[in-house]
Amino acid sequence: MDHAAPQSPAGLSTTPSWLLNQTASHAARLLSEGFAAHDLRGYHYRLLATLTEDGPASQADLGRRCGIDRSDVVAIINDLAGRGLVVRAPDPADRRRNVISVTDAGADEARRMGVTVERVQADLLAPLSTDEREQLTRLLTRLLRHHSRH
């Protein structure tokens, strides 16, 4: 006996909140699969990209800039350091703090992962024209800015 998958009520499945949630889930899966090819995850990319773009930073600063909890930052840095992608050194201005720097290998990995991010965007937005992609990005940015203030 075949059972159909449960369906959302028609009224719900056409609401922007439901559509955004479903699309976000799909986007997260695509990114996760893309990063898995690097044997890394999204939070690895956030830290590597931040260090590559902004230069060395303390662990606490990295956590704030990347939106990652302080305790998780330590584990992520340990993982990245173990792979030779970052180095941790005492801060010369305050020996109680560590400064994290990206290695050349880490910067290369951040670039490769950036290419993966671009490919995922192209896959995710494939049915949209360039103008539609730009419009969608502007609208989502506006929504996020509005709700981030509240």
> What confidence score (pLDDT) does residue 7 get?
57
> What confidence score (pLDDT) does residue 101 get?
96
Instruction: Please measure the distance between the N-terminal and C-terminal CA atoms of the chain and give it in whole angstroms.
Output: 49
> What confidence score (pLDDT) does residue 1 get?
45
From first to last of its 150 residues, the chain has per-residue pLDDT tens of 444 444 557 777 778 988 999 999 999 999 999 999 999 999 999 999 999 999 999 998 999 999 899 889 999 999 999 999 999 998 888 888 889 999 999 999 999 999 999 999 999 999 999 999 999 999 999 999 999 986
> What region, left, alpha or beta, does residue 147 occupy, with left being phi > 0 and alpha being psi -120 to 50 degrees?
alpha
CA–CA separation, 25 vs 135, rounded Å? 21
> What confidence score (pLDDT) does residue 13 get?
78
> What confidence score (pLDDT) does residue 77 get?
95
> What confidence score (pLDDT) does residue 2 get?
46
Q: 40-148 belongs to which CATH class?
A: mainly alpha
| Cβ within 8 Å of residue 106, ≥6 positions away | 48, 51, 52, 80, 84, 85, 86
Burial 137-148 (b: 16+ CB within 10 A, else e): eeeeeeeeeeee
Put simply, whether the predicted model's pTM sits higher than 0.85 gets the answer no
